[in-house]
């Protein structure tokens, strides 16, 4: 049975999420602007493992006091189906997007019992002129580049306790107001550590279902939530719904995903009704997709 | 925190070898056997209990009081726990140490931390030659861990050193980093003459160097991120014992070009 909070209806349902592997990487640069640039490019084309190989995003910005080299930085998170699947993603994204970015350096952003190569491949760009410096348990590679040295830590931690696919669907009768509310939810989620919202601006308009009528398509539009199909298909939408936006959350732990969903739901219910938000629901596959279930009512 | 105290009964008339006398080893022995451990070097042998007055109970710490320059191999093979020494110590202190903490409130002899792979050594006074260096029969010198020397150190420190960090509050002697393969020697008082002979890799840092070999080359002024990383790491690991950070720009001297030339001497850029 649904409930209503500040004029927004909350469905009695749950977001269904699945286990993933996740890693963290700290990227620093001479300024926060350039750390952000490197991180944004490195996490680009990282929305869904269905087509991108990994789900990526910026977790948080770090002050100079929080980074290994005392410069401003950001932490990015990268999620995939297994530690092995993350290896080529890290190699390509760091090699092509961080190594190339002016003034950048790259460090382990997650301490865990398992680790993955971070600088193991990029160091070979040094063509034999690279050198290593081991400090404590960490080895740092120094790769000569045209603006000095690219410093990169040899390994970063990886967890297999990560969770992908935490989600909420926000329904409304005003598309612009709905987007503003979703943005506010993404901003609230960004304040939670250890999570990312990998889609553009953290928001998905193309919610999907598994499979399609066309061979070769692993996923296709979630027609039950497409407003323009209401009346022609078995729709999940009421007559007042003009648009639906989804926020997808990946986190290093299940608790982080739950905290993020809680923050997002609060942001939506706090001001959503004024902007035309009418209802919040969540995507699930009847419990068959993943072992992590986030019941909306419990998070409100 | 439980521990054992060894107090030297009288100034040693022969060299005393404390290799392997660690808190963990003593804690594993029956108490009546501790005093019978041979710490002498001649045929007759010298029992620990004859050389030292033993008190306390074995535990995580070992305190050595009244030590002198004839007491060698203090902390040799230390892998956990801590050893505190009041007084000077002889050679080979921290030899093949892999963990734990060794605190010397006095001066140390030659070959401090030779072959060590981990742990932390702090000498409040000076140390002799070959700090972190290798001894014949070894393939490498220091292989890991951190040593902080409050005073000066002697010649050929870090010879064939491969990893680890040596912090010197005073100056290094001649030939620091000779045949160095890796690791870091940071001398806050300055680097002595002719460092890095045949060094392959590794880093020597200081405010100045007395003289350079002709096979070292000036690589110019740089803003090296790794220097910031080292400074921050050492501050976190050593606290007040950490060296003061280098200025933003450093002058890099590369060498030894008679070898592969991947080593470096870093000085403040003028």
Instruction: Looking at the structure, tell me whether residues A245 and A124 fall in a common domain.
Output: no
What's the confidence (pLDDT) of residue A107? 98
Q: Which of A106, A134, A159 is the last residue of a domain?
A: A159
* pLDDT 10s digits, A210-219: 889 999 898 8
- Best residue in B165, B223, B229 to probe A by mutation, most A CBs within 10 Å? B229
Domain boundary at A138, A159, A180, which? A159
**C-alpha distances out from residue B191 to B20, B132, B162, B173, B175, Å:** 33, 15, 19, 7, 9
| CATH number reported for the structural domain that contains residue A123 in this entry | 3.30.70.520
Q: Do A69 and B225 touch (CB under 8 A)?
A: yes
CA-based nearest residue in chain B for residue A142: B226
Give the total number of structural domains in chain A. Answer: 2
Residues A208 and A244 both lie in one domain: yes
State whether A70 and B144 contact (CB < 8 Å): no
Are A177 and A260 within one domain? yes
* Nearest C-alpha in A relative to B223: A148
- Where is average pLDDT lowest: A95-104, B4-13, B150-159, B187-196? B4-13
Residues A147 and A191 in one domain: no
Please provide residue B127's backbone torsions phi and psi, each rounded to the nearest 5 degrees. -130, 155
Given a contact cutoff of 8 angstroms between Cβ atoms, the answer to whether B215 and B255 are in contact is yes
pTM as predicted: 0.93
Closest partner residue to A142 among B226, B231, B237, by Cβ? B226
Q: How many folded domains does chain B comprise?
A: 1
Question: In this structure, are A30 and A154 located in the same domain?
Answer: yes
Q: Tell me, what's the pLDDT at A2?
A: 83
Cross-chain Cβ contact A149/B225 below 8 Å: yes
| Residue of chain B whose alpha carbon sits nearest to that of A69 | B229
Distance between CA atoms of residues B266 and B228, nearest Å: 13
**Domain extent at residue A217:** 3-16+163-299
Contacts of B184 in chain A (CB under 8 A): 133
Chain B residues lying within 8 Å of A34, measured CB to CB:
none
Nearest CA-CA partner of A118 in A75, A161, A160:
A75
A149/B233 Cβ within 8 A? no
- On whether both A132 and A247 belong to a single domain, the answer is no
Residue B125 placed within a domain: yes
Q: Residues of A with CB below 8 A from B222's CB?
A: 148
A119 and A206 housed in the same domain: no
Residue B2 is predicted with a pLDDT of: 67
Q: What is the pLDDT of residue B99?
A: 96
Q: How far apart are CA A72 and CA A76, in angstroms?
A: 14
Q: In this structure, is residue B180 part of a structural domain?
A: yes
Over its C-alpha atoms, chain A yields an Rg (Å, rounded) of 21
A193 and A247 co-located in one domain: yes
| Residues of A at the B interface, defined by Cβ within 8 angstroms | 28, 68-71, 105, 129, 131-136, 138, 140, 142, 148-149, 151
Are the beta carbons of A70 and B231 separated by less than 8 Å?
Answer: yes
Cα–Cα distances (Å) from B230 to A30, A69, B48, B144, B205, in that order, read 17, 8, 41, 15, 11
pLDDT at residue A214 in the model: 95
Q: Which residues contact B240 (CB under 8 A, 6 or more apart)?
A: none
Q: Does B231 touch chain A (CB under 8 A)?
A: yes
pLDDT, position B1: 54
- Least confident residue range of A148-152, A179-183, B58-62, B153-157: B58-62
pLDDT per residue as tens digits for the range B108-152? 999 999 999 999 999 999 999 999 999 999 999 999 999 999 999
* Domain that residue B126 falls in: 107-268
* Residue B226 to residue A133, Cβ atoms within 8 A: yes
Interface A:B, Cβ pairs < 8 A: 49
Distance CA B196, CA B183 (A): 12
**Final residue of a structural domain among A108, A139, A159:** A159
**What ipTM was assigned to the predicted interfaces of this complex?**
0.92
Query: Is B76 a member of any domain?
Result: no
Cβ(A155)–Cβ(A108) below 8 Å: yes
Q: Looking at residues B218-238, what average pLDDT do you find?
A: 96
* pLDDT tens readout for residues A129-144: 999 999 999 999 999 9
């Amino acid at each position: 049975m649904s409930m209503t909070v500040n004029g927004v209806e909350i469905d009695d349902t749950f977001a269904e999420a699945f286990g993933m592997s996740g890693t963290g990487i700290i990227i620093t640069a001479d300024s926060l602007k350039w750390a952000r640039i490197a991180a944004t490019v490195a996490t680009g084309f990282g929305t869904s493992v269905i087509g991108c190989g990994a789900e990526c995003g910026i977790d948080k910005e770090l002050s100079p006091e929080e980074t290994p080299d005392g410069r401003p930085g950001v932490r990015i998170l990268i999620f995939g189906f297994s530690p092995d699947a993350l290896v080529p993603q890290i190699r390509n994204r760091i090699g092509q997007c961080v190594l190339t970015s002016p003034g950048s350096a790259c460090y382990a952003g997650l301490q865990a019992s398992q680790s993955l190569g971070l600088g193991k491949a990029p160091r070979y760009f040094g063509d034999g002129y690279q050198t290593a410096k081991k400090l404590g348990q960490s080895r740092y590679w120094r790769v000569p580049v045209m603006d000095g040295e690219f410093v990169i830590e040899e390994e970063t931690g990886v967890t297999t306790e990560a969770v992908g696919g935490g989600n909420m669907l926000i329904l409304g009768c005003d598309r612009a107001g709905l987007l503003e509310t979703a943005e506010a939810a993404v901003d609230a989620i960004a304040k939670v550590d250890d999570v990312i919202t990998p889609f553009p601006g953290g928001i998905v308009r193309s919610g999907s279902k598994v499979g399609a009528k066309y061979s070769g398509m692993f996923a296709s539009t979630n027609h039950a939530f497409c407003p323009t199909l209401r009346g022609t298909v078995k729709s999940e939408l009421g007559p007042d719904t003009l648009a639906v936006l989804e926020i997808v959350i990946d986190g290093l732990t299940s608790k982080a995903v739950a905290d993020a969903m809680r923050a997002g739901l609060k942001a939506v219910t706090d001001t959503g009704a004024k902007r035309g938000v009418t209802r919040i629901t969540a995507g699930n596959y009847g419990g068959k997709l993943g072992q992590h279930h986030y019941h909306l009512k419990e998070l409100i | 925190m439980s521990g054992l105290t060894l107090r030297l009964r009288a100034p040693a008339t022969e060299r005393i070898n404390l290799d392997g006398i660690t808190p963990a080893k003593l804690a594993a022995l029956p108490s009546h056997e501790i005093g019978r451990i041979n710490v002498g070097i001649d045929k007759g042998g010298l029992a620990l209990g004859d050389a030292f007055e033993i008190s306390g109970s074995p535990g995580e710490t070992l305190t050595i009081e009244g030590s002198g320059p004839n007491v060698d191999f203090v902390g040799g093979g230390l892998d956990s726990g801590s050893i505190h020494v009041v007084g000077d110590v002889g050679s080979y202190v921290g030899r093949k140490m892999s963990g734990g903490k060794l605190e010397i409130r006095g001066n140390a002899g030659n070959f401090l931390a030779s072959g060590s792979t981990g742990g932390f050594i702090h000498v409040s006074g000076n140390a002799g030659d070959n700090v972190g260096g290798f001894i014949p029969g070894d393939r490498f010198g220091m292989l890991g861990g951190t040593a902080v020397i409050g005073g000066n150190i002697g010649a050929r420190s870090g010879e064939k050193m491969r990893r680890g960090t040596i912090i010197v509050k005073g100056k290094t002697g001649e030939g620091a980093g000779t045949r160095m393969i890796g690791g870091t020697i940071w001398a806050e008082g300055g680097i002595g003459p002719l460092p890095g002979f045949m060094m392959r890799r590794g880093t020597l840092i200081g405010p100045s160097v007395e003289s350079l070999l002709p096979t070292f080359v000036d690589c110019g002024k740089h803003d090296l991120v790794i220097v910031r990383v080292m400074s921050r790491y050492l501050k976190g690991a050593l606290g007040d014992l950490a060296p003061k950070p280098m200025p933003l720009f450093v002058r890099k001297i590369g060498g030894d070009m008679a070898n592969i030339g991947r080593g470096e001497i870093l000085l403040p850029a003028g």
